[in-house]
């Protein structure tokens, strides 16, 4: 059976604070897309046969072992007006740490038809009307969250259209050894 999965950066430390932001926005504009989604930074999404999942998990575990933990700083609100997305953005250093990992994961899973994210951000709301985007940007003006990015997780989309974490892959700080051409003499 085909199922949809997403690979994300995820930290329990920001789930509650972001949930409170989403609840505040919901109190102003009622239900909206992603109002019930737990805080995360999307890397990619894909649909595969459930039988293929173990192979994907092995690849994610192997690549995660090569990454080293670092701090992520979420320091501003922003939006993608064309998509109706309102989100918390990361600072430049965090972006410089997150993007190479995102690209390596995209490369690792390139055999799949991926919906990729190349711009690390933590969504507050999606598919918001221009009016609701304005309400969100008036409501939220400053932010200063941070978390230790020390794992990636894989989530499964359940029938009620919510993702839930099914496995995590800790960063092992074991960079892959560079292949060096040796000489016999």
Residues 62-73 have pLDDT tens digits of: 999 999 999 999
Please tell me the predicted confidence (pLDDT) of residue 180.
Answer: 47
What pLDDT shows up at residue 42?
97
Q: What is the pLDDT of residue 175?
A: 80
pLDDT in tens, 20-33: 999 999 999 999 88
DSSP readout, the chain? -EEEEEEEE--HHHHHHHHHHHHHHHHHH-S-BTTTSPP-EEEEEEEEEGGGHHHHHHHHHHHHTT---EEEEEEEEEEETTTTEEEEEEPHHHHHHHHHHHHHHHHHTTTS--EE--S-EEEEEBS--HHHHHHHHHH-----EEEEE-EEEEEEE-TTS-EEEEEEEE----PPPPP------
Residue with tokens 């504009």: 29
pLDDT of residue 142: 95
Contact by Cβ (8 Å): 129, 84: yes
Strands 41-49, 163-170: pairing is unpaired
Which regions in the chain score pLDDT beneath 50? 179-180
Pair 172, 67: CB distance under 8 Å: yes
Phi, psi of 54 (to 5 degrees): -60, -40
pLDDT of residue 184: 54
Task: Tell me how far apart the alpha carbons of residues 16 and 21 are, in angstroms, rounded to a whole number.
Answer: 9
CA atoms of 171 and 99, how far apart (whole Å): 15
Q: How many CB atoms lie within 10 A of CB 86?
A: 28
The answer to whether the pTM exceeds 0.75 is: yes
Alpha-carbon dihedral angle through residues 123, 68, 104, 162, given to the nearest 10 degrees = -30
């Amino acid at each position: 059976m085909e199922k949809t999965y997403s690979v994300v950066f995820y930290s329990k430390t920001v789930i509650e604070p972001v949930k409170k932001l989403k609840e505040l926005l919901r109190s102003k504009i009622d239900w909206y897309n992603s109002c019930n989604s737990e805080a995360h930074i999307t890397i990619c999404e894909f649909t595969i046969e459930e039988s293929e999942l173990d192979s994907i998990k092995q690849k994610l575990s192997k690549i995660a072992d090569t990454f080293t933990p670092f701090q992520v700083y979420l320091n501003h609100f922003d939006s993608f007006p064309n998509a109706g997305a309102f989100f918390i953005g990361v600072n430049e250093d965090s972006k410089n740490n997150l993007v190479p990992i995102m690209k390596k994961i995209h490369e690792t899973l390139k055999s799949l038809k991926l919906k990729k994210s190349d711009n690390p951000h933590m969504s507050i709301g999606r598919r918001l009307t221009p009016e609701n985007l304005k309400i969100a940007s008036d409501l939220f003006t400053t932010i200063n969250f941070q978390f230790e990015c020390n794992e990636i997780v894989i989530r499964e989309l359940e029938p009620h259209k919510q993702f839930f974490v099914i496995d995590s892959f800790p960063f092992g700080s074991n960079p892959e050894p560079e292949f060096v051409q040796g000489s016999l003499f």
